[in-house]
């Protein structure tokens, strides 16, 4: 808590003379309580008018001076967002990168790690002009341009390839480059790394033998569990893994232990606040600090950073799993949930249910998303549609659907109640789409690249309907999609838990199918 208090007061002192600091009486702030009384919870749309003034040339708006660099990131609440990246913010991001790299070296040995190239599958390093003398690009591309000399020569695929603007052209060029390299480390989003593996295997079917010294994976952006089996199959072995939680707004957490979540990094110059998700939208939501968060409760995370973000809603929801050190898991996005029937299902739960169903049925998924299926004349209660692109389909489609239903019912009491006896909603429907459907949708939507990922769950059908419309006939399907639910499943309470098990108890990680 002392580190967090010092971080906040340092940020406030630095920004006293800015437009934002003067309007919020930063000069009078002596404590966290003073700060929270003066500065309300903000979101991107609140800061955009201020940052527009900066882009037009004004100085000292939300942070001293005028940043030259900006990053563009996709947003779920306000479309694409343009975020300032100050020199101090770069330093904060760099701390996270160094910590992840040093943890990787601790796992496999520094000499081994530095003995060959390290692949960072990130954004484009080419920058575009913005505003008055500003430059904008992907955050990972901005960081790659600032690598220290000792790492610059080991950076793969190299600045020449990473500067290619078109994502698919850049990915193909990266595949050609890394196919002949003695890679020691992979870093990137799991879904995009798997596509890279596919590109390499088109030229070299023996992809599992290409990188004998590859030992460690640094990953983030999406949960790894749904991709684990396919990763091990493609590489022929299991890598040491380090999960990271970098956002364009700030580097938040790093996995420092084998299990139990990501360690919240308190010394990166960022001040954290946590709002209970049920308080979002209130005029005066409760704002917790690291001193008083509760374990196993869902919070929206707020950042105050040296980029001039003040109690900024990041958009992610997290749940703390341990207190010393403070560790968390990402449970979803503020706007990513499904609650069409009172079920209140979040991203973390659908990902855990999918992992459990795949493990139980010998299936592997490439991508998936969940959407509500609203009542109709033929389906008077409605339910959920799971749009799934399988890498390996389940042996028994009905059993797979039943596994999802059972796992989600064990994880979520509201879902179990609405499903019991089909009173509130009918069984989920799993619709298998053709290979490449999600990639085609992302191409059409202009969302190719490491900054973009498929939403796991949405409270509307826009994405689901677009995917179904884009799908080609899959193997074994008579039309564009194959419905794995050949017979209706009727829920009963006893199917959701074993005799003698308290249905209100949170299942263990083993019971939830999480490795």
* Runs of H (alpha helix) within 29-132: 32-38, 44-55, 87-108, 110-113
138 versus 56: the higher-pLDDT residue is 56
Q: Do 118 and 228 sit in the same domain of this protein?
A: yes
Q: What is the pLDDT of residues 433-444, one digit of tens each?
A: 998 898 888 888
> In angstroms, what is the C-alpha Rg of the chain?
23
369-376 mean pLDDT:
86
Rounded Cα–Cα distance for residues 395 and 398 (Å):
9
Q: What is the pLDDT of residues 259-293, one digit of tens each?
A: 778 999 999 999 999 999 888 878 899 999 999 99
Q: Do 94 and 226 sit in the same domain of this protein?
A: yes
410: number of Cβ within 10 Å: 25
> Which residues contact residue 93 at a Cβ distance below 8 angstroms, ignoring those fewer than 6 apart?
85, 139, 143, 246, 250, 251
419 versus 13: the higher-pLDDT residue is 13
pLDDT of residue 512: 37
Question: Domain boundary at 333, 364, 382, which?
Answer: 333
Q: Do 395 and 450 sit in the same domain of this protein?
A: yes
356-369 mean pLDDT:
92
pLDDT of residue 488: 40
161-190 mean pLDDT:
90
End-to-end CA, the chain: 32
Largest CA distance in the chain: 69
pLDDT of residue 52: 96
pLDDT of residue 473: 59
pLDDT of residue 79: 54
pLDDT band at 479; cut points 50, 70, 90: low
Q: What is the pLDDT of residues 198-207, one digit of tens each?
A: 889 887 777 7
Question: Domain boundary at 307, 333, 359, which?
Answer: 333
Give domain status of residue 71, yes or no: no
Question: Domain boundary at 194, 212, 245, which?
Answer: 245
For the cut 80, the answer to whether the pLDDT of residue 337 exceeds it is: no
469 versus 341: the higher-pLDDT residue is 469
pLDDT band at 460; cut points 50, 70, 90: confident
Question: In whole angstroms, how far apart are CA 433 and each of 222, 349, 369, 393, 480?
Answer: 21, 22, 11, 11, 7
Q: Do 321 and 350 sit in the same domain of this protein?
A: no
235-259 mean pLDDT:
91
Give domain status of residue 316, yes or no: yes
Q: Do 360 and 462 sit in the same domain of this protein?
A: yes
For the cut 60, the answer to whether the pLDDT of residue 232 exceeds it is: yes
Count how many residues are written for the chain.
515
Rounded Cα–Cα distance for residues 112 and 104 (Å):
10
For the cut 80, the answer to whether the pLDDT of residue 498 exceeds it is: no
308-335 mean pLDDT:
90
Tokens encoding 305: 């950073």
Split into its structural domains, the chain has a count of 3
Q: Do 391 and 455 sit in the same domain of this protein?
A: yes
Give domain status of residue 85, yes or no: no
Out of 89-103, 239-253, 380-394, pick the least confident: 380-394
For the cut 90, the answer to whether the pLDDT of residue 210 exceeds it is: no
Handedness of CA 349, 351, 353, 359 (dihedral sign): negative
Classify residue 504 by its DSSP letter. Answer: T
Q: Do 271 and 205 sit in the same domain of this protein?
A: no
Q: Do 370 and 492 sit in the same domain of this protein?
A: yes
SS3 sequence, 367-379? EEEEEEECCCCCC
Q: Do 432 and 445 sit in the same domain of this protein?
A: yes
Q: What is the pLDDT of residues 396-410, one digit of tens each?
A: 999 999 999 999 998
Give domain status of residue 440, yes or no: yes
Give domain status of residue 320, yes or no: yes
Give domain status of residue 252, yes or no: no
Domain that holds residue 327: 2-62+258-333
Give domain status of residue 510, yes or no: no
297-312 mean pLDDT:
96
Give domain status of residue 70, yes or no: no
For the cut 90, the answer to whether the pLDDT of residue 416 exceeds it is: no
Q: Do 310 and 371 sit in the same domain of this protein?
A: no
381 versus 262: the higher-pLDDT residue is 262
Q: Do 341 and 329 sit in the same domain of this protein?
A: no
Give strand ranges (E) for 380-432.
383-392, 429-432
Backbone φ and ψ of 417, nearest 5°: -65, -45
Out of 73-87, 340-354, 451-465, pick the least confident: 73-87
pLDDT band at 506; cut points 50, 70, 90: very low
Q: Do 487 and 356 sit in the same domain of this protein?
A: yes
pLDDT band at 34; cut points 50, 70, 90: very high
477 versus 367: the higher-pLDDT residue is 367
Share of residues in the chain with pLDDT > 90 (%): 52
Backbone φ and ψ of 155, nearest 5°: -75, 125
1-15 mean pLDDT:
97
129-151 mean pLDDT:
90
């Amino acid at each position: 808590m002392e580190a967090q208090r010092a971080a906040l007061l340092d940020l406030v002192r630095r920004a006293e003379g800015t437009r934002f600091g003067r309007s919020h009486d930063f000069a009078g702030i002596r404590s966290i309580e003073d700060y929270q009384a003066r500065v309300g919870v903000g979101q991107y749309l609140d800061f955009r008018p201020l940052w527009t003034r900066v882009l037009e040339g004004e100085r000292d708006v939300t942070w001293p001076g005028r940043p030259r660099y900006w990053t563009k990131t996709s947003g779920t609440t306000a479309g694409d967002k343009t975020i300032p990246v100050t020199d101090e913010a770069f330093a904060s991001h760099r701390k996270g990168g160094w910590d992840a790299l040093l943890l990787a070296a601790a796992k496999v040995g520094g000499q081994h790690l530095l003995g060959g190239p390290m692949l960072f599958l990130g954004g484009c390093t080419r920058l575009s002009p913005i505003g008055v003398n500003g430059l904008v690009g992907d955050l990972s591309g901005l960081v790659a341009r600032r690598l220290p000399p000792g790492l610059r020569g080991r950076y793969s695929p190299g600045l020449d390839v990473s500067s290619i603007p078109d994502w698919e052209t850049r990915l193909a060029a990266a595949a050609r480059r890394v196919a002949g390299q003695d890679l020691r480390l992979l870093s990137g989003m799991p879904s995009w790394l798997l596509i890279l593996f596919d590109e390499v295997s088109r030229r070299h079917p023996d992809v599992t033998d290409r990188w004998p010294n590859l030992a460690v994976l640094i990953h983030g952006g999406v949960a790894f569990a749904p991709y684990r089996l396919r990763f091990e199959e493609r590489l022929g072995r299991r890598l040491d893994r380090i999960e990271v939680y970098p956002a364009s707004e700030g580097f938040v957490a790093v996995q420092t232990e084998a299990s139990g979540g990501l360690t919240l990094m308190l010394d990166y110059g960022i001040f954290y606040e946590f709002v209970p998700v049920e308080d979002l939208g209130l005029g005066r939501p409760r704002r917790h600090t690291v001193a008083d968060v509760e374990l196993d409760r869902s919070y929206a995370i707020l950042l105050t950073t040296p980029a001039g973000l003040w109690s900024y809603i990041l958009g992610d929801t997290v749940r703390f799993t341990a207190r010393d050190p403070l560790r968390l898991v990402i449970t979803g996005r503020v706007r990513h949930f499904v609650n069409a029937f009172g079920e209140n299902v979040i991203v973390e739960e659908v990902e855990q249910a999918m992992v459990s169903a795949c493990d139980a049925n010998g299936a592997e998924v490439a991508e998936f998303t969940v959407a509500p299926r609203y009542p109709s004349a033929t389906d008077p209660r409605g339910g959920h549609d799971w749009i799934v692109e399988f890498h390996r389909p389940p042996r028994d489609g009905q059993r797979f659907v039943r596994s999802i239903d059972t796992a989600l019912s064990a994880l979520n009491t509201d879902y179990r109640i609405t499903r019991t006896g089909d009173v509130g909603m009918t069984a989920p429907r799993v619709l298998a789409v053709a290979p490449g459907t999600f990639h085609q949708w992302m191409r059409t939507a202009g969302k190719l690249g490491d900054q973009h990922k498929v939403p796991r769950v949405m409270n509307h059908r826009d994405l689901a309907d677009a995917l179904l419309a884009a799908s080609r006939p899959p193997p074994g399907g008579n039309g564009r999609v194959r419905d794995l639910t050949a017979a209706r499943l009727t829920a009963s309470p006893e199917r959701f838990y074993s005799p003698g098990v308290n249905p209100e108890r949170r299942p263990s990680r083993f019971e939830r199918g999480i490795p």
